[in-house]
Amino acid sequence: MANDANHASIASRGPTYTYTVNQGTYNVCLKTRLANCFSELCKEITIDLVGIEDLVENDNLIEVYPNHTTGQFIVSVKNATDVVVKVGDILGNVLDVNVIDNLNGTYGVDMSAVADGVYFVQVKNGNSYTTKRITVSK
């Protein structure tokens, strides 16, 4: 039992590191070791900062309704041009949800397969963006 408690204590540690990097592709590795056990996971990531500094936050960009939803809702975008709609969870993970462009500035979003909870709808429209909270309750 003492060994299990030790593992739980070690597993709960979450070191974070912040690096200042330039745009480009990097090989990022996470290496862990516990006693004689060693693990390494590497992934190639690309940092592309083009256009990020040009985005402007605009809270009046969208309407999300109905909010509380059982899973399906509408995102209405004012002056829609080059729109990207993403939905994320509270941890910042982007969810794989169905977003349908109704071709009139409205987008149907189907989250009926996700668990109840609070999520975030992020919309980029041209050089503007906004994020709204949506509550799913079935």
Residue 106 CA to residue 123 CA, distance in Å, equals: 12
φ and ψ at residue 57, rounded to 5 degrees: -75, 135
What is the location of CATH 2.60.40.10 in the chain?
Answer: 52-136
φ and ψ at residue 92, rounded to 5 degrees: 95, 5
Question: Is the whole-model pTM more than 0.85?
Answer: no
Decide if 65 contacts 122 (C-beta within 8 A): no
CATH top class, domain 52-136 = mainly beta
Q: Is 33 helix (H, G, I), strand (E, B) or coil?
A: strand
Mean pLDDT of 54-75: 86
Highest mean predicted confidence (pLDDT) among 38-42, 88-92, 103-107: 103-107
Q: Is the peptide bond before 15 cis (omega within 30 degrees of 0)?
A: no
Mean pLDDT of 35-53: 75
